[in-house]
Structure formats: structure tokens, C-alpha cells
A and B are shown apart, each in its own frame.
Chain A
Amino acid sequence: MSRKITRRKVLAGTAAGAALATLKFPAPAIAQKAPFKLGLLTVKTGPLAEGGIQMEQGVITFLKQKNYMMGGRKVDLVSADTGGNPAGAKTKVQELVERDKVDVILGPLASFELYAISDYIIQHKMPTLSLAAAQDLTQRKPNPYLLRASATSSQAMQPMGHYAATEMKLKRVVTISEDFAFGYEQMGGFQAAFEKDGGCITKKLWPPIVTPDYTPYLAQINDCDGVCQGFAGSNPLRFMKQYHSFGLKLPVCTGETGGDDALLKSFGDEAVGLISACPYTLDLENDSNKRFVDGMMKNYNTVPGFYAAGLYVNCQVVDAGLKALGGDVSNKEKFLETMKGLSIADTPRGPIKFDHLGNVVGNIFIRKLGKEGAKYGLKLWNKTVKTYENVSQFWVWPEKEYLAEPVYTRSYPPVKKC
């Protein structure tokens, strides 16, 4: 009840006469307001296009369901293709801000893109809801204009480490991931949590991003009882296939990109048994996820994965922020603070809220890939076996203690003798 009154007060404050009319006849009053401009930084060409196209599908699915209206304002979507590289991201963010005069930016996809535009976002005080996991931007070098409703690189891998040690009962694990920041941060988070619970990382392998053949690395997987892979894009597909073709049978665990639901239609039997930790799962049964998945099936005849879900949730955050302010985002700081203060109960990944650094606190799902329960015409399915609730980017460590450690790199945490 009290919420309703606040809303009326806000509306009355902005336009006393129009307030009643807005409540009674929303349509004409809205038509007079300028449209809200939603800028999307995505990737529609090049090797990262798979995730980028899904990002856009997530946004459009949300907008279609809302009839292109957010918080009582018509929404104009301006979509920009960065090509998946830092230079492209820089050019396109300028276009969105200076030419298209967007009110908020969704994206970009990749960590190195986000690092490239971070200073620009601060200069132009542009609220940005990122999917990119570059974790230091909500940790040791926080960007105050950034909100991340998806996860930092290691946010899902930390529970994965706990699960691997306590439930999968793994003792010695070899990690393998791409040789770039996202890989280091994922594997670092896994290692820190896994070793905290008594496990041991015996070897860390870093193939280059472009590795047509993983055999030279597969030949080095030995002296362990499990493997943790952190591949992204199309690499998980190739890795699992080659892993299986060499007769390797050790259990494999991975993160949100390595076991993404969007890859289910591409995976074959070689991926059965893969354990993945993800901030979103296709099999979550709640209203919001049902609406979302149905929308994706209707619009694109495809199931969403982590990328589409991340952007759908970002849209929910923007929508809720706009609603709370009655559609008035002229004060960017206030808009940002409002969004940061939100706690949304019904999203496709369950309830979310933000920490004071702008990073999400929410569910992390541990899933096992198999055939049981497959829906939407898929042959394979990620079935949730455990849900970690209210997971923050700092996992079980106090924030101060976590931030006192250096950021995860290629050689940190180091491999210990064990």
C-alpha cells in the first residue's frame, strides 16, 4: 500500500495535473514523454557472435513482452555491434552516448571490451549494466557506474570448487582454460575454493584462445581424479569431443560458459556427465523463467543460455529502476542508486540484489548434464543438482580479506606441491 502512495507522490511532483490522468488513462500521457533510449553493446559478427546474438535476443524478448514500454515510457532500442574487440567497443560506446544519446547501456559481452570502455563510462557518468565478467571493476578498481546482474568470472566457480571438493569428493584436479583474463579468474576462483575445502590443484594448463586441436594438452592430463575446464564460445564443444575421443573418463566440471544451456543443442553424448556451475539455469521453475523461455522459443525457436538470460535480467533491473522513479531518469546518479538498491524477487535466475560495489548477489546452480528431463526438443539437458543461494562475488570470505589478495592471474594462486 505504502508503495503505491510513493508512486503517486512522485508522479504528482513531476506533473500535478497529469498525475491523475496518467493513472486513469496511461496511453495519452505517455505519448507525450520522449522515448527511453536503451543502448545495447553486443557482438553480431566475428567469433564471439554466438553469445552476442543471444544477448540481443534476450533484450528483444523482454521488450516484446513489455510491448516496448518500461516504467511508463516507450523504449527505443539502439543496438551496436562491437565486433567483439576493444577498439570496436570504444567506437560504439561513443556512438551510443554522443550520437544516439542513450539513457543506459547494456553490455558489453567480453571482459577486455569492458576494460577498454570503463574510463569512458566514468567520464560520461553512463549507467552501464554489463554482462562482461571483468571482476576487478566491481572489486579492487570499482567503476561506480557499473552494475553487473550476471556474475564475476569466479562467482560461479567458487561454489563449483566447494561442490567438487565436498560432493564430487575430488581430491586432485587439473584445470584447463583459455589463456586470458576470464580463464585466469575462473580457474583462480575454483582453485581458491577447492583448496579451501581440502582439494588440490596439481596442474594448470592454458591453451591459447585459438586451439584447433587440444591433444597436446589432453596428453598432459594425468595424476588427477578430475578435470576443471573454463572454456568459452565454441571451445567447450571441441574440448569435450576431443577429451572423449581419447578415452578420458575422469569427471569434468566447468562454469557458465563451458556448460551453457545454449550449447545443449550442439553437444553430443561426449558431454554427458559434465557438471557446470551457472548463475542461470534453463530448468529453474519459476514464473519469470517460464515467461522468458517461452518468449525465446516463440521469437527465435531456441532455448536461452546464460548470455540471453543475463541481458533479460539486466532489462528487468532497468525496468524496475524506471518504475521506481516514475520514468524520470534525468538524474543519472539517482537512477543508478535506485537500480543498485533494488531487490527483485522474480527473475529467470531467482531473486537478486546488488552489493555496494554494484555486483549481483544471487543463486548459483550446479547442474549435471544428462538426458533425463530434456524439454523443448533437446536431446540433452542440464539438470540442477544443487542450488547455492545468495552467493556474493566474495563467496564465503569477508570482503576485506578477499580484496586484500591480488586478483587471480595465470600464476596466482600458485600450484602447490601435494
Chain B
Amino acid sequence: MNFWILLAVNSITFGGLLFLLSAGFSLIFGLMRIPNLTHGSLFMLGAYVGATLIMGILSVQLDFWLAAVLSALVVAAFGALIERLLLRRLPGEPLAQVLVTLGISFMVADFCLMVWGGDPISVATPTHLVGFVRYGVAVFPLYRLAIIGIAAVVAVALWLLLERTRLGAMIRAGVDDPDMARVVGIRVSQIFTIVFGLGAALAGFAGIIGGPILSVYPGLDQDMLPLALVVVILGGTGSLLGSFVGSLIVGFLYNFGQALLPELAYFILFLPMLLVLVLRPQGLFGRQLP
């Protein structure tokens, strides 16, 4: 019984972390039509920057949450730069854009290795969230439960942003039909930069939030990118609900797959993705791309 409760709760936790990672990926994919292969690198970069701020530079040590917000801002700025300086120059050439993002991901990986070295960095759990919760015989770490809360808050905030603000309306218009959006006076290119920055910020934020569980190490980018891809393909691009449901599905598949059939864990993880691609290419909640 303990075993099942533990796995179920952990599936939701892991789903929460995946949602933070993939929501931005999905937005960028939905709006700009490119699978942003730097997304894993942005996640790793956020984790490194955040870890550095927490450990302290120039003998100033930041609080975990402040560091998380700051590193999200740093990564957002970096993302916006990539969009402005590189992707902007390759309009309508998805292949070139994919290759550019792939190239940048290698460069970021090497940059991180140069700056932070190869040693893994352990991110301390925020002190007020150390420890675990007991429910009967089941034990569950407090911090992991907090991640569910964080993911929920971010999900609501994003939903409000997209559904209840003018900017959100413009983004939705851009996702649905960029040409028509331009005709009605929306500066879609500016929206591109904002969305890319926002997506990058979410990835960077996810990186540092995941830090106390995953730690930070070279190769973290390549470990996380496929998971984001699976989530977004399952859930559908450009759909917030899609990334939310997709993250939970992947969270459950990952946990139960590895526990029950470890030999087939990856098979179980990727099979639904294949089925979705064959039977419903736009994803469970995605709209057909024009």
C-alpha cells in the first residue's frame, strides 16, 4: 500500500516539475512553430545560475526563492537575446531555426562546463522545507509536496495571463493565426520575443526548483529535453491544458513504468507519444496547426 501511495504522490510531484519545464516549451512551439532544442540548456542554465546565487558570489548569499526568481530573469534575458539576434534572422525557416537552437544548446553546455566545471553541484533544499510528511506508514519529502503547490500557482498565473490579459489575447491570436494577427495590428514579432523570454524564464525557474532533487551537473540539459518533448507532443503544442495533462501523464508513466517494468520504462514512456503522433498528430489538446 505504502508503495502505491508513494508512487502516486511522486508521479504528481514529478508531473509538477515537468509542467514547469514544458509549459514554456509548449508556448514557444505553439507560437513560433519551432521545437526549441535549447530548452534543456535553459533549464540547466537556470539551475547553475540559481545554485551559484544560493551558494553566494562576492560573499552575498541569496535566499532560495529570490535566487530562483533572479535566475529566471537572467535566463529570460538570455532567451530574449537568442530570439532577437538569431532566430529573428531566420523567419519562416523552421529547419534552420531548429539547427540554430541545437547549436546553441551545445554551446551552452560547453559554456557551463567551462564556468562551473564538471563537478556536480548540490542545491540545498530551502531550510523551511527540509524534512518529510508522514501519512500512516508512508513518508514523503516536504519539498516535493511544495513543488506541486508551485506548479499549481504557476499554472494558474499562466492561465490568467493567457486568458485574462491583453497580452494573453495577443499571444493567443498569434498562436491561432499569425498573419491575421498582424493584419489587426498586433506586433507579432514583439510577441515572439516576449514569449521566448517567458518560456526561457519558466525553464530557468524549473531548473532551480528541480535543483534540490536533481542537483546540477553537465548533461542535465540532455536528460530533461526529451521529457519536455514527450510532454508537449502528448499534450499538444501551444496548449496550457495540454502541457498540464501531458506532464501528469508522463509523471505517472515514468514512475509506474520504472517501478513495475524497469526494462520497458522508456518503451512505456515513449509509446504513448508514438500513438499520439500517429493517431492525433496535434496532440491531445492541441489545435491543428495551419
Report A's interface with B, CB cutoff 8 A. Answer: 44-47, 49-54, 179, 205-208, 210-213, 215-217, 219-220, 233-234, 237-238, 241-242, 245-247, 262-263, 265-268
Contact = CB atoms under 8 A, between A and B. Distances in A.
B159 interface: no
Contacts, number: 116
B3 A50 contact: no
Nearest to A206: B262
6 contacts: A47-B218, A207-B262, A208-B266, A215-B14, A241-B213, A267-B122
B118 A49 contact: yes
Contact of A246 (B117, B139, B266): B139
A53 B117 contact: yes
Q: Is the interface of A mostly helix, strand, loop or mixed?
A: loop
Contact of A233 (B110, B217, B224, B266): B217
Contacts of B212: 241
A266 B122 contact: yes
Contacts of A205: 262
A219 B259 contact: yes
A268 B122 contact: yes
Contacts of A54: 118
B219 interface: yes
Contact of B259 (A206, A212, A216, A263): A216
Nearest to B223: A210
A213 B223 contact: no
B219 A211 contact: no
Contacts of A237: 120, 122, 215, 217
Contacts of B141: 245-246
B7 interface: yes
B87 interface: no
Contacts of B110: 45
Given A234-B120, A237-B120, A245-B143, A219 B6 contact: yes
A45 B259 contact: no
Nearest to A267: B122
Nearest to B18: A212
A179 B266 CA distance: 13
B255 A215 contact: yes
B133 to A, nearest CB: 10
A247 B139 contact: yes
A211 B215 CA distance: 12
A367 to B, nearest CB: 19
B70 to A, nearest CB: 22
A234 B217 contact: yes
B208 interface: no
Given A213-B213, A246-B140, 7 more contacts: A45-B110, A47-B222, A49-B218, A237-B120, A245-B125, A245-B213, A246-B132
B141 to A, nearest CB: 4
B258 A211 contact: yes
Among B120, B132, B254, B255, the one with the most A-chain Cβ atoms within 10 Å of its Cβ is B120
B49 interface: no
Nearest to A211: B258
B215 A219 contact: no
Interface residues of B, number: 44
Contacts of A234: 120, 215, 217-219
Interface string B127-160: 0000010000001110110000000000000000
B215 A47 contact: no
Contacts of A47: 217-219, 222
Interface string B1-37: 0110011001000100000000000000000000000
Contact of B122 (A206, A233, A241): A241
B7 A219 contact: yes
Contacts of B139: 246-247
A120 B214 CA distance: 38
Interface in B94-146: 109-110, 113, 117-122, 124-125, 132, 139-141, 143-144
A207 B262 CA distance: 7
Nearest to A270: B122
A216 B258 contact: yes
B192 interface: no
Contacts of B173: none
B82 interface: no
Given A50-B218, A233-B217, A45 B113 contact: yes
Given A45-B109, A215-B7, A266 B119 contact: yes
B44 to A, nearest CB: 11
What 6 A-B pairs are tightest by C-beta distance, nearest first?
A47-B219, A50-B118, A234-B120, A234-B217, A216-B259, A216-B258
B10 A265 contact: no
B265 A238 contact: no
Interface string B182-212: 0000000000000000000000000000101
B48 interface: no
Nearest to A244: B141
B285 interface: no
A179 B212 CA distance: 24
A41 to B, nearest CB: 16
Interface in B246-278: 254-259, 262, 265-266
B106 to A, nearest CB: 9
B265 A208 contact: yes
Contacts of A46: 109, 218-219
Contacts of A245: 125, 132, 141, 143-144, 213
A207 B124 CA distance: 24
B118 A217 contact: no
B230 to A, nearest CB: 13
Contact of B214 (A49, A208, A212, A220): A212
Contacts of B10: 213, 215-216, 219
Contacts of B227: 212
B9 to A, nearest CB: 9
B132 A247 contact: yes
B6 A215 contact: yes
